[in-house]
Amino acid sequence: MKILSGNANQPLAEAISAYLNVPLTKAAIRRFSDMEIFVEVLENVRGEDVFIVQPTSFPTNDNLMELLVMIDALKRGSARRITCVMPYFGYARQDRKTGPRTPISAKLVANLLETAGADRVLTIDLHAGQIQGFFDIPTDNLFALPVLCEDFKKHVNKDDKLLVVSPDVGGVVRARAMAKRLDADLAIIDKRRERAGVSEVMNIIGEPEGRRCVLVDDIVDSGGTLCNAAQALIDSGASSVSAYISHGVLSGGAVARVASSPLEMLVTTDSIMATEAIRVCQNIRQVSIAPLLAEAIKRISEEKSVSCLFE
């Protein structure tokens, strides 16, 4: 087994490498003067089972192209099997036509990965589960929920009256799963989205008064929906509001928005490498999914079942 890391999230790749006690494969990844990407794998990979750790987060296009070039380099180096470990799958929000003459970019990315030579994909919390069907190669979509729930249990008091809240109707299944794990009640935010990145809370379906509320979602990008939901819950009498999110995209002014919001704490996984702004923010924290990914990589390499990782 070989583990190769791109530039998108080196700390995560190193944590996976340390967990498995498998050193990262040496590779040179650099840019020409016109920013073309060049990859040279500096170790023999002939007949090897290779795992590339590369989320396609910001800068999305650069990281995606880097992944495709790495796949091609390994394919031409006669690797036996190439697995793309993409903790965060970029373009996942473009999973259907939202209007006339619009793309389904998630399907395009799936086609690109397969054409480049990927044999398998391993990811965490796809924005839409049906994206697995866009691939004609085996695709494992792991859940970050067990990791997030374990962290939450370490920071909750037994006497707290918990309420798990979905910030929109589309996330109810995820929120219900967390509520079941925590033996908590469930509430739903009814929101209206006028355009991408702008939302307005309309109603709260549930009783947040006097409760410790936990917002659960897969992606936080601009932070507008999350912060509006937190404010609405506080206005409705919630004692505190925290959020557990799988992927902390946190683009633009999102970090400042979260810092000034009523959120007691925003917890994300390290599927996307934290920026300096995130690291210094007092109410944003990351938990590691390296053990989860490492265990999946080990099981895939040994041709064992990964089903237990979904529980």
- Which residues are documented as binding site for Mg(2+)? 127, 168
Compute and round to an integer the Cα radius of gyration of the chain: 20
d(CA 90, CA 203) in angstroms, rounded, equals: 30
Cα-Cα-Cα-Cα dihedral sign, residues 103, 106, 111, 113: positive
Query: Rounded to the nearest 5°, which phi and psi values hold at 177?
Result: -65, -40
Dihedral angle, C-alpha 205, 207, 208, 209, nearest 10 °: 140
User: What six digits make up the tokens of 280?
Assistant: 């210094």
Q: Are strands 240-248 and 265-269 parallel, antiparallel or unpaired?
A: parallel
d(CA 99, CA 264) in angstroms, rounded, equals: 37
Binding residues: 34-36, 93-94, 127, 168, 193, 217, 221-225
Helix (H) or strand (E) holding 296: helix 290-301
Verify whether residue 107 is a known catalytic residue: no
Binding residues for ATP: 34-36, 93-94
- Count CB neighbours of 280 within 10 A: 11
d(CA 231, CA 145) in angstroms, rounded, equals: 24
The label of the residue with tokens 């996942």 reads: 92
User: What DSSP designation does 26 have?
Assistant: P
Residue 81's contacts (CB-CB under 8 Å, 6 or more residues apart) are 49, 50, 119, 120
Q: Among the options 161, 191, 298, 304, which is catalytic?
A: 191
Classify 70 in phi/psi space as left (phi over 0), alpha (psi -120 to 50) or beta: alpha
Closest by CA position to 217, among listed 291, 309, 145:
145
Residue 285's contacts (CB-CB under 8 Å, 6 or more residues apart) are 265, 266, 267, 268
Active site residues: 191
